[in-house]
C-alpha cells in the first residue's frame, strides 16, 4: 500500500493538507536563503502545491520540479497551469539512486518531506547528487521531522516514526546530526537549522 500524501480533487490535481499548512513557513525560509536568480531543482515535488506556491512568490527564479510518480507529475502540471506560472519547467522523473540525474546543474535544491519516507540509501544518494549538481555556495534545503541528539523527540513525532516503520522498516525519522555527517564528504556543510511549526525543521546546507 502506498503512503497516503494527498487527495484527488476531481480535475487531475492532487491536494495534500500538510502542503497547504507548511508552504507559508517554508516560503519564508526559502525567500531568505535562495539565490536572487537561477535554477531551483525540487526533488520529490509530490502534488505540485509547493512548487506552484514558491514559483508564484519567487518569480525571479526558474523552478524544475521532479517526481517519479506519473500521476503526481500530472498533478504538478495542472497546478502550474492553473497558476499560469511561466517560470516552472515541465516536471521530470528523477530517482535519487539512478545516476546521472537528468539535471546536471542547479543553483539550489529543495527537498521537502522526502528523507523520512525513503530508505537511508536514498538520503545518501541525495547528498551525493547535490554535491555534484550544486555550484560553490549553492544551497540544499531539506524540510521535515527529524530527531536531534540533544533534544527529546516530541511525542507526536515518536508516534509518526512508529507509523513510518510499520509501513516500511527502511523508513523513519533521521537524526539531523546523522544527515550532517553524511553530507560532509560531499562538500556540503550544515549552515543553519531552523525550528518550524508542528515539530519540523528546515536544514540548510551550503556547498563548499
Q: Is the pLDDT of residue 26 over 50?
A: yes
Q: What is the pLDDT of residue 12?
A: 84
Does some domain include residue 86?
yes
Does some domain include residue 140?
yes
Does some domain include residue 4?
no
Report the pLDDT averaged over residues 139-151: 96
- Pick the closest to residue 85 from 42, 44, 127 (CA basis): 42
Largest CA-CA distance found in the chain, in angstroms, rounded: 46
pTM of the model: 0.96
Give how far Cα 23 sits from Cα of 9, 27, 31, Å: 19, 6, 12
Does some domain include residue 5?
no
Could you identify the residue written with the cell 516503520?
Answer: 165
Q: CA neighbours within 13 Å on the CB side: how many for 184?
A: 6
The 3 state secondary structure assigned to 46-76 is CCCHHHHHHHHHCCCEEEEEECCCHHHHHHH
Does some domain include residue 1?
no
Q: Is the pLDDT of residue 173 over 70?
A: yes
> Looking at residue 182, which CATH number applies to its domain?
3.40.50.150
Element (H, E) at 32: helix 17-33
Q: What is the pLDDT of residue 7?
A: 80
Q: What is the pLDDT of residue 4?
A: 63
Q: What is the pLDDT of residue 3?
A: 59
Given pLDDT bands bounded at 50, 70 and 90, which one contains residue 11? confident
Question: Looking at the 3D structure of the chain, how many domains does it have?
Answer: 1
Q: Which structural domain range is residue 51 located in?
A: 11-207
Q: CA neighbours within 13 Å on the CB side: how many for 105?
A: 3
Does some domain include residue 64?
yes
Q: Is the pLDDT of residue 1 over 60?
A: no
Q: Is the pLDDT of residue 150 over 90?
A: no
Amino acid at each position: 500500500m502506498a503512503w497516503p500524501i494527498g487527495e484527488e480533487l476531481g480535475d487531475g490535481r492532487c491536494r495534500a493538507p500538510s502542503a497547504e499548512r507548511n508552504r507559508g513557513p517554508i516560503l519564508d525560509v526559502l525567500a531568505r536563503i535562495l539565490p536572487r536568480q537561477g535554477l531551483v531543482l525540487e526533488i520529490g515535488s509530490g502534488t505540485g502545491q509547493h512548487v506552484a506556491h514558491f514559483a508564484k512568490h519567487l518569480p525571479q527564479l526558474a523552478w524544475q520540479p521532479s517526481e517519479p510518480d506519473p500521476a503526481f507529475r500530472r498533478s504538478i502540471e495542472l497546478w502550474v497551469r492553473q497558476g499560469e506560472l511561466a517560470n516552472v519547467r515541465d516536471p521530470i522523473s528523477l530517482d535519487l539512486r539512478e545516476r546521472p540525474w537528468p539535471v546536471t546543474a542547479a543553483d539550489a535544491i529543495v527537498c521537502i518531506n522526502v528523507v523520512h519516507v525513503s530508505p537511508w540509501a536514498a538520503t545518501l544518494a541525495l547528498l551525493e547528487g547535490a554535491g555534484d549538481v550544486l555550484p560553490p555556495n549553492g544551497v540544499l534545503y531539506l524540510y521535515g521531522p527529524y530527531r536531534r541528539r540533544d533534544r527529546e523527540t516530541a511525542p507526536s513525532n515518536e508516534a509518526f516514526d512508529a507509523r513510518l516503520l510499520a509501513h516500511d522498516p527502511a523508513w523513519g525519522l533521521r537524526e539531523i546530526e546523522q544527515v550532517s555527517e553524511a553530507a560532509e564528504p560531499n562538500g556540503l556543510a550544515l549552515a543553519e537549522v531552523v525550528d518550524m511549526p508542528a515539530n519540523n525543521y528546515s536544514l540548510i546546507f551550503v556547498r563548499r
